[in-house]
Amino acid sequence: MQVRLATKIVTFWRSRVREVCSPLGWKGSNMDEITPKEFKQQWDEGRRPVLIDVRQPDEWEVCNLEEFGAKLIPLGEIQQRFQEIPKDGDIVMQCRSGGRSGQAQGFLKAQGYTKVQNLVGGMLRWSDEVDSSKAKY
């Protein structure tokens, strides 16, 4: 019962995000996602994508992935600062749960970035799958 309710809530919010962001060209894509477990496995195998955290500075202070080279560019600043992100490399966007990073991913794709993935489940899932010492909030 709880899983079904959670699935309905996630589905509802994903549709709302698409509805609001689509006119701006901010469309996320389920084809371009990576789980925290997959990210960590690929990191251990030598893959070094540019990791962009789109949360707020106070969220960054609670927990972050700085040890994986994460760079903080809050979602509200992405339109002004996206040029700081190299176009020619692999990029992984992340946030607390995956919603804001999905919006940022869609925006980057609309700007011509082609190798952009969204960290599914964000820091919450990272804490569950990879490193439980990362605080949930």
Write out the catalytic residue numbers. 95
Q: What are phi and psi of 111, to 5 degrees?
A: -90, 5
Question: Dihedral of CA 21/26/29/34: which sign?
Answer: negative
Residue 125 token pair: 């899932």
Largest CA distance in the chain: 44
